[in-house]
Every structure is written in structure tokens, then in C-alpha cells.
Amino acid sequence: MGRSRGGLSTKVHQLVDGNGLPLVTLLTPGQAGDSPMFLPLMNLLRVGRMRGRPRTRPDRVRGDKAYSSRAIRTHLRSRGIKAVIPEPDDQKGHRKRRGSRGGRPVSLDACDYKNRSIIERRFCHTKQWRGLATRYDKHALNYRAAVVLNGVIAWSKELSDTP
């Protein structure tokens, strides 16, 4: 028997709102990259409204350098979503080496990028759960259930704190 997907090498991928509350959660094996999971996460995004269809397009997406790929930036641009994702140094070097054919530098709103700390705090809060931090669950379904339960509790705390 090999290790299960819910075992020691599981990655949790989440889309969170501006307050750090989870909207979409996916699990992958630990060796999988972050960037390929972006489009499946965006496809699952549905934020309900009082009337009408659920919202599937955020105003902006904040991410770290792992999400700075041409495919992701093209997808966001085609949907009219502002990307607040810094460009890694190696991509800057490749662009500069190509000269005028390298394209324009990526624009980054540094003040808006500072709000990404909200996302990091949410993940740190999630890691405080002993069951999630130790990853004792043998099955991915059980592990995902614990991650979703953590998100439900976060949402219930947020809703109970609002007047």
C-alpha cells in the first residue's frame, strides 16, 4: 500500500474572499504544482447573490509568484479580472533577454498586493487545527471534509460577529 492522497503529502488549494473566508477548496497530491490548479478553482467559483445568477468573476485576483504564468494572466485578462501577481525574477530575465519582443513588464499594484497577507493568515489559521496540521487522515475525502468544516466554522464566526 502506498501513501494515500489524504496522507502526509497533500496540498490544499483554496480561493478565499477579501476577508480570508474560503470560497472553493480542492486537494491534490503533494507533488502537484500550485499553478495548474488555478483554472479548476476559478471554474468552481460561484458566489450567490440575492437575485440573479451567482457571480463567477471576481474584481481582482491576488496570488503569489507561483501563479505568474502566461496562461493564467491570459485567462484573467480575457475575463476582465485584474491580476495582482508579482513577476518572478526568472521571468523578468527572460523578458528582458528577448528585448523588444519580450513584451511589456507586468504591472503590479504594490499596495493591493499587501492585502495578500489576509490569505496567508487564513492558511495559518487552518494549520492550527491539529487534525489538518498532522494529516493523520488516511483518505482524501476525510481530509477534505476537515478542511471544509474548518471553512464552515470560519464563516459562522464571521456571520455571528457582524451586527
The domain 10-161 having CATH identifier 2.40.30: the answer here is: no
Instruction: Write the pLDDT tens digit of every residue in 3-56.
Output: 445 445 778 889 999 888 999 999 888 777 889 999 999 999 999 889 999 989
DSSP secondary structure letter of residue 80: T
User: What residues does each domain of the chain span?
Assistant: 10-161
Instruction: Write the pLDDT tens digit of every residue in 60-119.
Output: 999 989 899 889 999 999 999 999 999 998 888 888 888 888 888 888 898 999 998 988
Buried b (16+ CB within 10 A) or exposed e, 84-98: bbbeeeebeeebeee
Q: What is the pTM of this model?
A: 0.80
Residue whose entry in the numeric block shows the C-alpha cell 477579501: 18
Determine the pLDDT at residue 163: 63
